Amino acid sequence: MNTTKSLFHQIPKSLITVTILISVLPFLLHYSEISLSGELMDLEQGIFPVTPFGFLSFVLLEWTSILLIFITCGLAYIHHHYSNSKGSAIIGLAFISIGMIKFSQVLLLANTEYLSLSDLKNHDLISTSFEGCLMLTALISLIIKNQNRDEKKTQNLHYYVGGIFIFLGILIIGTSDYINQFIIWSSTTISFALISFFPIMMYSIVFGVFLIRLSNHSNSYLLQSIFWSILPIGVGQCHLFIGSHQLFDSHFNISQFLFTFSFLLPFIGIILDYISMFKEEKRKTTELMIIEQDLKSKNHELEQFAYTTSHDLQEPLRSIISLSELLDSSYKAKIDHNGQQMLGYINSSATRMKNLIRALLDYSKIGKNRSLSNIDCNQLITDISQDLRFSITESNTQIRFENLPIIRGYEIELRLLIQNLLTNAIKFRKPNIDPVITISAIHMVGEWMFAIQDNGIGINDKYLEQIFIIFSRLHSKSEYEGSGIGLAHCQKIVDLHHGSIWVESDRDIGSTFYFTIKDDIPE
């Protein structure tokens, strides 16, 4: 039940119906004595009067088959490149070899003077047998890749198999005369009708392998269309080797048409795979857009909540601070030492809470009124250095930079980003060592990468990612002042510029903060 469902659940029912009709209809037309040969003969004689009837149809069908094979091969390789489909890669490489054999045979049979039914049957026997062996090998390769859990061992299997396919194709082309002689010798020893059933036997094995091992696991239109192409190939073989007794008779022409139709099915299959891939990509893109819009909405709500909550919390905090200060000034003499100490704790905790709320408000405001402009980074660093001149002078800090680029970004936010990084570099300096801060930038593909390097105390490796989390602190307030939100600001500002930020640190050398700014930031 599952196998039947897997063979019909994906490939269009109309294509299956057409395949069955085209495979069976020639039998019905032939035995109902309906013939179109007269009209075809008049058409061919009008175009190529010097060639025997049926030759033009034969050549057109052969070249159509070759064209379909190579187009399918190219499309399968491109499909593998974009979807990483194992089936497309292996089947595509198999089709290269099949196309090589077909092409060489058409060139060999181009001379109508020496063309005979036995030659055509022999060449067809070689090509269809080879096709059946290739399809079987391709399906076995797919089974190996599907069952082997160690991807490293089988990730290049399709290239190895494809190389063997092409080698065998060249070998058969080079030895086709010998193979032809072997078939002639075999037909004198063994019945030719028995030999002619070898391709049918090979495709029957392919049919069984697909039905048993791959039908429940294949979501590929290409693989399923190859499965259904076995029907016109088998029927065509019967027409050619059982029904045909004369060159270009009705059974011969039917067989050639069915062979060409069998190559049309994989072409349709790979086209359907492309349509399926594009639909899946469109679905994923739509889902991502919906998720992105939902995230934007949630982020806006969170920022609005943080802003409103922070703003509303400031008023009761002011009351707490004012009342604690009033108690301390008015009733200081009436409160013992322990009470005064508790008032001090209340006041300092409320003040710290006030600073945290103010930092949270600042964080929620980042990017709200942003506007893109061209920014001279050299001038920006100079202006920031002027703003920090008191800290720079007090700590005897050296800030080194030159030849920084002019970039496009949000100037207010970028100023805050660099100011936070410079403030941290000055704050977390080594005792008795003057801070040296070096700012540089290099252009990468589609973005600028900035580096701010210091010779400070460094950061422990296990905290390199944690430091960008809001209110994250690595040191106590007694060691270093701060709210623990500065680097979270930096992370948010870099995100606004569609970049990334990270840090590399050595406790002996110092830290280097890297961040990237995209060249083309959407409005």
Of 121, 256, 265, the C-alpha closest to 198 is 121
CA distance 496 to 299: 13
CB-CB neighbours of 348 under 10 Å? 13
Are 236 and 199 contacting, i.e. CB atoms less than 8 angstroms apart?
no
Q: Which tokens go with 424? A: 């941290």
* Residue 4 vs residue 173, higher pLDDT: 173
CA distance 458 to 341: 36
pLDDT above 50: residue 523: yes
Candidate from 103-117, 119-133, 401-415 with smallest mean pLDDT: 103-117
Average pLDDT over residues 49-76: 77
The 10s digit of each residue's pLDDT in 338-386 is 887 887 878 777 877 777 777 666 666 676 667 788 999 999 999 999 8
Q: What is the phi/psi pair of residue 332, to 5°? A: -60, -40
Average pLDDT over residues 251-266: 84
Average pLDDT over residues 247-255: 75
The 10s digit of each residue's pLDDT in 66-83 is 898 889 888 888 887 787
**What pLDDT is attached to residue 450?**
95
pLDDT above 70: residue 157: no
CA distance 184 to 176: 12
Which residues touch 486 (CB under 8 Å, ≥6 apart)?
Answer: 420, 423, 424
CA distance 470 to 368: 18
Q: pLDDT class for 405, splitting at 50, 70, 90?
A: very high
CB-CB neighbours of 202 under 10 Å? 21
Q: Which helix (H) or strand (E) holds 447?
A: strand 447-453
Q: Which tokens go with 398? A: 């050296």
The 10s digit of each residue's pLDDT in 4-42 is 444 444 677 888 888 888 888 877 766 665 554 444 555
**What pLDDT is attached to residue 473?**
60
CA distance 304 to 282: 33
Candidate from 191-200, 436-445, 489-498, 511-520 with smallest mean pLDDT: 191-200
Share the mean pLDDT of the chain.
75
Domains of the chain: 2-42+51-289 (1.20.1070), 371-518 (3.30.565.10)
**What pLDDT is attached to residue 382?**
92
**What pLDDT is attached to residue 119?**
65
| Cα separations in angstroms, 337 against 324, 343, 347 | 15, 10, 15
Average pLDDT over residues 431-447: 90
pTM of the model: 0.56
